Amino acid sequence: MEKQMLRACIEKLKRNGKLIECHVPVDPKFELGAVLKYYKNEKPILFHKVKGYNIPVVGAIFGNRDIYYEMLGISHEERIFKIADAISNPKPVRLLNYGPVMENIIKRNIDITKMFPVPTFHEKDSSSFITAGMLVIKDPETGKRYISIRRFQINGSNKMSILIASPLLKGQLERLEAKNQPLEVAVVLGYDYSLLLASQISSETYGIDKYEIDSALRGEPIELVKCHTCDLEVPAYAEIVFEGVIPPHKREEEGPFGELMGYYGEKGMHPIIEIKAIMHRNNPVFQTAFPCREEHLSNGLIREVETYSNLKKLVDVKDVNITVGGGCRFHAVIAINKRAEGDGKSAIIGALSSSNDLKHVVVTDDDIDIFDMDDVELAIATRFQASKDLVRIKGALGSGLDPSHRIDGLTDKLGIDATKPLGEKGKRFDKGSIPGFENIDICKYFPRRKL
């Protein structure tokens, strides 16, 4: 039985009753995305019949927190420590001579949209998009490997553009362009929960080989094979790999594209990839990601680790929720064990300094469940006074995914200290409790009811 990558995940999701299978034909243009969105992008769906193709499509597999933990084999409570441990203790990869992804190698007559069911999601999207592609590159100067998820607009039979937000990769491209050199790339479809999580670590912050973080996270070496036409390594059990180059000085129009916050990203001139070869497994499964906040959960999980680590130096932080509602980047809710007056404000400062993207922070005591928004609201409603507990910062840097920032080029930051006072005054906030409630056996009272 396979243990690594997408096919192993699909099997496990099936076994655990977490996969919905659709046997009705769906159109990759709009219809497939509409079905994914109907289930809020949180229910993994395998579309067996995609109109015009004999390749199934899987989507929405990474959008649900509980499923993510289950598939990684970690609990909510231990996640921050396990991920931090993997980042600090990378483990070696295993390079194989052969892997299933090499079952088919195509070098001629490449026509991406004829071969694969690449979806179009929103009405005004400029083209169909590969939204779940994992970019693999090597810095030609240092030989260091980098992996990350990017979006790829289909521009022609063997051509796609790539949207790069990361300053590190932009810098690498600029240095190569100065020497008039191309950059070899591979775009991988068919990865799993562990590799996606590892890919979301920032290269700028850590500068480590994310495949090695993946090996540490999955508890065994990730198995890789060499690409066919370039000096790059890709997962042996991936479904599809596009190999090619980013030629220097070439730009093509990209966008508009309905992005994760639900707004269209603007048109712009972006680098392109010329595809030279495609490797794929027999009967490949095409992996897609509806462009939505839920699909960025993996990114939010990494941000929770980073915010937690930043706060650890300042306060007794208990947990961090980088909310999906805030696009897994704009909003943090933080639970602390308040030990001194001022801890709430320190936590706001610590959180806001952990990422430029973070815009609004709520700090609560640790008797509040920060993953239950009703409980968070209770803290804001009853423990927060705007005249003394609100922190406002004008005109800071923000994220281009927030249109209000994009218009002004600057963003305001806000912190809400919803912690209760310490000492005698704090007693007013003791919550009522019912003896025996925690261990109540509810089935005893409703024996015939399916709960």
Ligand X SMILES: Cc1cc2nc3c(=O)[nH]c(=O)nc-3n(C[C@H](O)[C@H](O)[C@H](O)COP(=O)(O)O)c2cc1C
Q: Residues in the site for ligand X, rule: CB under 6 A?
A: 146, 148-151, 163-166, 168-169, 199-204, 289, 295-296, 298-299
CB of 328 to ligand X, least distance (A): 8
CB of 280 to ligand X, least distance (A): 21
Sign for the CA dihedral angle at 69, 70, 75, 78 comes to: negative
User: Which lies closer to ligand X via its Cβ, residue 293 or residue 345?
Assistant: 293
User: Which lies closer to ligand X via its Cβ, residue 149 or residue 225?
Assistant: 149
CB of 1 to ligand X, least distance (A): 27
CB of 366 to ligand X, least distance (A): 29
Tell me the Cα Rg of the chain.
Answer: 23
Environment class of residue 397 by beta-carbon count within 10 Å: exposed (0-12), middle (13-18) or buried (19+)? exposed
User: Which lies closer to ligand X via its Cβ, residue 66 or residue 377?
Assistant: 66
Structure tokens at 125: 């999207």
HEC assignment per residue over 81-127: HHHHHHHHCCCCCEECCCCHHHCEEECCCCCHHHHCCCCECCCCCCC
CB of 410 to ligand X, least distance (A): 21
Cβ–Cβ < 8 Å for 393, 412: yes
User: Which lies closer to ligand X via its Cβ, residue 138 or residue 151?
Assistant: 151
Cβ–Cβ < 8 Å for 14, 38: no
User: Which lies closer to ligand X via its Cβ, residue 281 or residue 293?
Assistant: 293
Environment class of residue 306 by beta-carbon count within 10 Å: exposed (0-12), middle (13-18) or buried (19+)? buried
CB of 87 to ligand X, least distance (A): 12
Distances (CA, A) of 421 to 17, 236, 350, 430: 46, 55, 20, 11
User: Which lies closer to ligand X via its Cβ, residue 148 or residue 419?
Assistant: 148
User: Which lies closer to ligand X via its Cβ, residue 280 or residue 293?
Assistant: 293
Structure tokens at 61: 């597999």
CB of 270 to ligand X, least distance (A): 10
